Structure 1
Amino acid sequence: MHTWQMQTAKARFSEVVKQAADDGPQEITVHGRSVAVVISKELFDRLSGNEASLVDFMRRSPLFGDEDIAFERDRSLAREVDL
């Protein structure tokens, strides 16, 4: 992981982002202390589980394909209405 001082990272931000995409995470420091890491969108999606679409998520559900699911609708009024 390459380390950048904050001032340098600010001045060369596009390079920091490009290196994050090409070479992996880029560490940002202030007064020698690590304060942030810049990562690629691809790595972020993989780490956060955002790779799959909502459709893929629903298909992985244990209820997928179950035809016996019945959803009952509450037919009560949502609020009282004065007439």
Structure 2
Amino acid sequence: MSATKKQEAWTVANAKAHLSEVIERAQSEPQMITRNGTPSVVIVSVEEWNRKTERKGSLATFLLSSPLAGTELADARLLDEPRDLAL
């Protein structure tokens, strides 16, 4: 039995027996494989994997490109002295 549009996931045994088909279908949409009835892994195309894991830059780059970069933020900190506590 192979995965069809109605069947949402492959069992491990089915995926092993039809690996070429699993790979072929993963080119167009993610393929879920279950183990003991529980979702275990999803197989996706390399293009999808690269798109999802592509690094968009560092946090510093993100913050520097913010519309607020270069603006002065008001820092309203209290300059009170610490309290004396009787211990």
Same fold (TM over 0.5): yes
Kindly tell me the number of residue pairs found equivalent between the two proteins: 52
The counterpart of 1:27, out of the listed 23, 28, 32, is 32
TM-score (norm 2): 0.53
Q: Which structure's residues are more often helix, by fraction?
A: 1
Secondary structure in 2 aligned to 1:34? strand
Structure 2: which 5+ residue stretches go unaligned? Answer: 62-87
TM-score (norm 1): 0.55
Mapping of residues 11-22 of structure 1, within 5 Å: 11-22=17-28
Q: Hey, what does 2:51 align to over in structure 1? A: 46
Mapping of residues 41-80 of structure 1, within 5 Å: 41-49=46-54
Q: CA deviation at 1:7?
A: 0.0
Which protein, 1 or 2, shows the higher relative CO under an 8 Å CA cutoff with sep ≥ 6?
A: 1
CA distance in 2, matches of 1:39, 1:17: 8
Q: Deviating runs (4+, > 2 A) in structure 1?
A: none
Q: CA deviation at 1:21?
A: 0.1
Q: What is the root-mean-square deviation in Å for CA atoms of aligned residues?
A: 2.1
Is the radius of gyration larger for structure 1 or structure 2? Answer: 2
Structure 1: which 5+ residue stretches go unaligned? Answer: 62-83
CA distance in 1, matches of 2:54, 2:41: 21
